[in-house]
Structure 1
């Protein structure tokens, strides 16, 4: 017996994680480069101080006030349709990673199947593995769009209990076609759930609809979001979802007791009070993304259409050499996605100028 007595299916595996390196230009994990204002920081500090006075007591395990605040925020995307999301339709956890894991704990498991379509977020199969859920991976089209006919056929053949559909997709930035969510919700039926992961949803183009608008039509639909990206709260670790209240109640069965600390709840509520400010740079980042895509294409590179705050570009015979060359020049991007491709997060204009200069030098050198 080899020590420690780890599960056999976990032996030899490396933990998930992007490189964390101290370099001048960090464009590898899709963070918002614009931090909170002094007023927002002061509000968070005061809120945490107030929460600290009662840290000897457990936090509100139903985080009622936070669910109400998140429901109000999400209802901005449903107001045009004339309805609002209620607090009972909202759930939150420590990052959208924990939200996803809880969904697989509740609706996956032994004898059940989860499906997604590659290339996509590399953590999805790990959620399935950790919950002993059978994992089936379909493929995307050459341009990374979702082939809806092929996707529906796979769902009908495999009868999954969970379908994971990021929109915009990570690492490609590709948004779902308008009819995809409804078609796949109907194909899955009430035997499963369809999870539309909108971690980058706030960065989508104006003509790209949120799946939130379809919640009243499909009770098996779950839409997840995060405060890590557009809200500039990567260090906060707060992810959340909107769904039928019965789905939220089901997740309560598998959540750990008091899983959201009083400090997390206080910080998230303070951030929500500064929504307009924290989202104030989204348009700037969208414009910088589009400029970056146009520049990369003008350099003769292929770039996936992106509705996110990053873009996937290539292709390179030796992408690691390109990645290494950029790092040597103080620019950290992500070596991820299909072989030959690289992903760059959208930073400030100064950071993107440094990226462009470094990439030109590296390509010339190679």
Structure 2
């Protein structure tokens, strides 16, 4: 019997790899990047740090990345009165690898990973790649979490991993602390992951789940330097959790998974945190004004605590997406049918988006 080549796992055949369109257009507002790059001073510090690391590239990096974990713990500590220790911190090449390691450690055959749609489209891929059963519940029409439904589904399915983005991607919806607590309690010994990739963009008064870590040993809070830190090219994600969870991840991590160059670059970026995060308030204000502008034109827009806005609805969203692209503006065709997502860029980029959308509509 003929065998298809290459001998790919059957469940992977015909699947397109994940990825947003990478197109060379004047205004790129499709992957939620921070539009403001590092200053010359920050870039120079990174260059010096990388040069120092380059002199020892014949040696393996610190596989425990102790200095980096200490710096990340100090950064996270500002979001909780309880403090964060280096032993509570883990990092990897982007929050994608952090999530995959969590599924490698706590998912697997015979186990369940669970989330609530619409949600980040990579989550089911983490489950698939680790041969973990994927279960998805639903969100309300305003994309908030129906806590009774969520609690009941967790108790019924008894997942080993619950994935809860807050703010949610692609909707921008944040989770209240009581929802995190309720699901941590409902999950029992299951791990509850609150994905705060966009956490720095949350509105004033919206707390981080980091504050809840002392109350729930099964809580994991993940972050990234790709968004608010303006370091998407660095590929550095991290988490805070009970030290026992960090120890468990060591079993599945690849040897020396964080290079010396990555560690040096991340440390330099953290030294410039006030500068790199300095535009967050500006981006929040631009987000809120964009949401107001879209609503004033009769469109429905999800409340957002992130650096993007999900808006709609359109009978043919692809036609609208294509119309904007034809005018040099790239946004994202994602989320429920009829909706589009725009990342928040500079004021000039958002003007270009608004003008293109008005022409298209």
- Give the alignment's TM-score, normalised by structure 2: 0.99
Which residue of structure 2 aligns with residue 189 of structure 1?
Answer: 188
Which residue of structure 1 aligns with residue 5 of structure 2?
Answer: 3
Separation in structure 2 between the aligned mates of residue 241 and residue 123 of structure 1, nearest angstrom:
17
Separation in structure 1 between the aligned mates of residue 46 and residue 289 of structure 2, nearest angstrom:
34
Which residue of structure 2 aligns with residue 359 of structure 1?
Answer: 357
Separation in structure 1 between the aligned mates of residue 207 and residue 59 of structure 2, nearest angstrom:
42
Separation in structure 1 between the aligned mates of residue 137 and residue 207 of structure 2, nearest angstrom:
24
Q: Is the 8 A contact 1:55 1:262 kept in 2?
A: yes
- After superposition, what is the alpha-carbon deviation per residue over 1:273-296, rounded to whole angstroms, capped at 9, x for unaligned? 000000000000000000000000
Unaligned stretches of 5+ in structure 1? none
Which residue of structure 2 aligns with residue 273 of structure 1?
Answer: 271
- After superposition, what is the alpha-carbon deviation per residue over 1:219-272, rounded to whole angstroms, capped at 9, x for unaligned? 000000000000000000000000000000000000000000000000000000
Which residue of structure 1 aligns with residue 54 of structure 2?
Answer: 52
Structure 1 residue 206 displacement after superposition: 1.0
Separation in structure 2 between the aligned mates of residue 340 and residue 8 of structure 1, nearest angstrom:
32
Separation in structure 2 between the aligned mates of residue 267 and residue 327 of structure 1, nearest angstrom:
34
Structure 1 residue 2 displacement after superposition: 0.6
- After superposition, what is the alpha-carbon deviation per residue over 1:186-245, rounded to whole angstroms, capped at 9, x for unaligned? 00112x100000000000011111000000000000000000000000000000000000
Which residue of structure 1 aligns with residue 31 of structure 2?
Answer: 29
Classify the secondary structure of the residue corresponding to 1:171: coil
Q: Is the 8 A contact 1:117 1:139 kept in 2?
A: yes
Separation in structure 2 between the aligned mates of residue 308 and residue 298 of structure 1, nearest angstrom:
20
Unaligned stretches of 5+ in structure 2? none
Classify the secondary structure of the residue corresponding to 2:136: strand
- After superposition, what is the alpha-carbon deviation per residue over 1:150-204, rounded to whole angstroms, capped at 9, x for unaligned? 00000000000000000000000000123100000000112x1000000000000
Q: Are positions 1:291 and 2:289 aligned together? A: yes
**Pairwise mapping of residues 1-366 of structure 1 onto structure 2 (< 5 A)?**
1-78=3-80, 81=81, 83-190=82-189, 192-363=190-361
Q: Is the 8 A contact 1:113 1:134 kept in 2?
A: yes
Separation in structure 2 between the aligned mates of residue 348 and residue 312 of structure 1, nearest angstrom:
18
Q: Is the 8 A contact 1:204 1:308 kept in 2?
A: yes
Classify the secondary structure of the residue corresponding to 1:153: helix
* Deviation >6 Å, runs of 4+: none
Structure 1 residue 91 displacement after superposition: 0.1
Structure 1 residue 84 displacement after superposition: 1.2
Structure 1 residue 85 displacement after superposition: 0.3
Separation in structure 2 between the aligned mates of residue 163 and residue 204 of structure 1, nearest angstrom:
21
Classify the secondary structure of the residue corresponding to 1:216: helix
- Give the alignment's TM-score, normalised by structure 1: 0.98
Separation in structure 2 between the aligned mates of residue 311 and residue 225 of structure 1, nearest angstrom:
20
Q: Is the 8 A contact 1:146 1:177 kept in 2?
A: no
Classify the secondary structure of the residue corresponding to 2:215: coil
Separation in structure 2 between the aligned mates of residue 100 and residue 326 of structure 1, nearest angstrom:
33
